[in-house]
Amino acid sequence: MPELPEVETTCRGIAPHVQGQTVERVRVRERRLRWPIPEDLDVRLSGQRIVAVKRRAKYLLIEAESGTLIVHLGMSGSLRLVPAGTAAVKHEHVDIELGSGQVLRYHDPRRFGAMLWSHAPLDHELLRNLGPEPLSDAFDGERLYQCSRGKRIAVKPFIMDNAVVVGVGNIYASEALFAAGIDPRREAGGISRQRYLRLAEAIKEILAYAIERGGTTLRDFVGGDGKPGYFQQELFVYGRGGEFCKHCGSTLREVKLGQRASVYCPKCQR
């Protein structure tokens, strides 16, 4: 599914074209997403000026004058800009028509995404208990160390817990653990402060670089401009089970952790 860099790429891609624009109309062709799109979304959003486009974790927050549209891309969703009058194709469920003549179009083949309306988005049940942003000063190795004390869970699902830090999904957790030289199967509570300091830095570096590269192209993901991300070409372990390690040449191993496939190097990671 789209992870934090993909969502940030979408946010940055659409923001300059959406902020300051007035919504002329909202067309909903399919309301049945993960949660139904509000019946009155057109009434609430039409005529409103878009004040800002922001991201919190994997949620996009499209802030209007009287409320905020919370958008989650689910497993296969994307938002992109198309010229007004562009015919919709299959799985293009929502159009937000802007005064500029462009349309912000939501595409989601699997319909696991969401579009919800809120007057206080950060207090919404989906967002209120989220941990800090990984690229903020609120997140560091000391937080990982303190949160991990007494935890017997493996370190990979631990850093994927949104209450610990948001947005470190399967791809980037795998890559960060490789960069930090930590075996993803290691018990979270048994890892030292020093190693968590390195892991936090690896998370920050890899997420920042992935954003710079436009995210990771996996199945359906494209950015807000319709172009794919390029970080996939530089993955060291994710999705490469049975292949050779780019650092040492050892065969990468694949295991299941928290119902997720996890690939690691038995020589580089301990």
Q: Which parts are annotated binding residues for DNA? A: 91, 110, 151
Instruction: Return d(Cα 171, Cα 48) in angstroms, integer.
Output: 37
DSSP states along 149-186:
TT--SBHHHHHT-TTTSSS--HHHHHHHHHHHT--TTS
Least Cα distance to 188 among 157, 166, 143 occurs for: 157
CA–CA distances in Å: residue 42 to residues 1, 29, 151 = 28, 12, 46
Q: Is 54 a catalytic residue?
A: no
Q: Which of 3, 6, 92, 97 is catalytic?
A: 3
For residue 32, with 0-12 CB atoms within 10 Å meaning exposed, 13-18 middle and 19 or more buried, which class applies? exposed
Instruction: Return d(Cα 268, Cα 253) in angstroms, integer.
Output: 12
- List the binding residues: 91, 110, 151
For residue 17, with 0-12 CB atoms within 10 Å meaning exposed, 13-18 middle and 19 or more buried, which class applies? middle
Q: Which of 55, 56, 58, 80 is catalytic?
A: 58
Task: Give the type of residue at 109.
Answer: P
Place of tokens 């009155």: 40
The answer for residues whose C-beta is within 8 angstroms of residue 28's C-beta and 6 or more apart is 37, 41, 42, 93, 94
Least Cα distance to 71 among 114, 15, 39, 120 occurs for: 114
Q: Which of 12, 44, 213, 260 is catalytic?
A: 260
Q: Is 260 a catalytic residue?
A: yes
Number of Cβ within 10 Å of residue 19's Cβ equals: 15
Instruction: Return d(Cα 199, Cα 255) in angstroms, integer.
Output: 20
- Residues annotated as catalytic are 2-3, 58, 260
